[in-house]
Amino acid sequence: MESVTLVRYGEVGLKRGNRAYFVSRLCANLRRATGRAVENHFDHIVIPGRLGVSALDAVGKTFGVAAFSPAVRVPAVVERIEQAAEELVRQQLAAAERQVGAATLRVETRRRDKAFPLTSSDLDRHLGSYLQGRFAGLGVRMRAPDVHLRVEIRDAAYLYTEVRPGPGGLPVGTGGGVVGLLSGGIDSPVALWMMAKRGMEVTPLHFHAFPFTSDRSRDKVVALVERLRAWCGPLRLHVAPFAHVQRAIRDSVSEPFWTVVMRRTMMRIAERLADQVGADALVTGESLGQVASQTIEAVRAIGDATRLPVLRPLIGLDKQEITEIARRIGTYEISVLPYDDCCTLFVPRRPRTRPTVEEAQAAETGLDVDSLVREALAGVETVDAPRSPILARP
């Protein structure tokens, strides 16, 4: 009886001609996440050996995984299945500290290999009868049994009692590259996570306005990247100096247009970085109507500054929906730490909420935009394996 983890994929299995490519990438991501060898079978993946808590957690955060189960694998022979089933039920009853006479059981079989001599229903009945003979007083219950024993007959027989959900989506690395504008707020980490879930490799870009913002603000973003790495795989955080841009905007741009010009400049810097890292798009955490700079007119005026497509996966979500995702993926508690980022500085008292493209272009005519962008790119710091003191703190 061999301990394994049985991994199932959902959307990946619908790729027909490209299925092998997607499954191969999913296997590679699982190898990297768990540090274990991976077996690629026809319609499922098997990770041999017993996985610890951290490795199982990593499987549950690997995009492309629909569900997975810690299982045992035995040859698809009735006698070996009986032995494995008996041992699993014994372990489950002991773990639950249940007395056999008061415990209930359900057996559920899926027979993928039609050459197996018993049908699914036949094996259900056979195992149920066998186990009741081995555990006197063991009852049967279809709903909420104490032990729900599942058996899958595939290349071998897999037996398990637990099905854990995966995150779904597509394997990271199958959807191209994207540069993600990452602030310290709630929204942008969720936006990056959502694009990684669609298979994109994300390059996070943070604009750091030191000395207007402290190193604690930067540490907060590093902590967010650490949290996202559990889902998105290796991430290279890029930190661009931005204080010189904000000073120039404050001194040369009409106040109502500070925000839109600032974001247009961010787009240009992000676009140049995308060219350097081979990304094909940008992603932001904008949600329509959430703040004054997120009207459809402002979105258009900001997007006009780049030739690359700007992906806005949160555009139709409200704050509660975004917050729920942030809590689920573990970024919320970091995002709400009270450290300012560049987006909270130099906020105009009366922002132009519906700027036209022409107005935005006119507002920045007093800026040497190319020089500001070059200076920011020259000062970009790249952090390959960030370790944030915020997460290290007890």
Phi, psi of 180 (to 5 degrees): -105, 125
- Residue whose structure tokens are 């057996």: 107
- As a whole number, mean pLDDT of residues 337-355 equals 77
Q: Please choose, from the candidates 198, 370, 382, the residue with its C-alpha nearest in 3D space to the C-alpha of residue 281.
A: 198
| Residue 394 binned pLDDT confidence (cut-offs 50, 70, 90) | very low
Mean pLDDT score, 269-294: 92
Task: Quote the pLDDT of residue 294.
Answer: 84
Q: Would you tell me how many other CB atoms lie within 10 Å of the CB of residue 150?
A: 19
| The two structure tokens encoding residue 160 | 């398990």
Q: Quick check: 393 pLDDT over 60?
A: no
Q: What mean pLDDT, rounded, does the chain reach? A: 91
Residue 342 has pLDDT above 70, yes or no: no
- pLDDT tier, 100 (very low <50, low <70, confident <90, very high otherwise): low
- The CA-based dihedral angle spanning residues 188, 193, 197, 201, taken in that order and rounded to the nearest 10 degrees: 90
Q: What 3-state class would DSSP assign to 133?
A: helix
pLDDT value, residue 162: 95
What's the helix, strand, coil split of the chain in %, to 5?
45, 20, 35
The residues with which 72 forms a beta bridge, in sequence order, are 3, 159
Q: Give the containing element (helix H, strand E) for 274.
A: helix 258-277
CB-based contacts of 60, cutoff 8 Å, min separation 6:
68, 164, 165, 166, 167
Partners of 105 in beta bridges:
140, 147
What the block records as the tokens of 356 is: 């036209």
Rounded Cα gap, residues 152 and 131, in angstroms: 17
Structure tokens at 45: 């993946």
**For residue 40, what pLDDT is reported?**
95
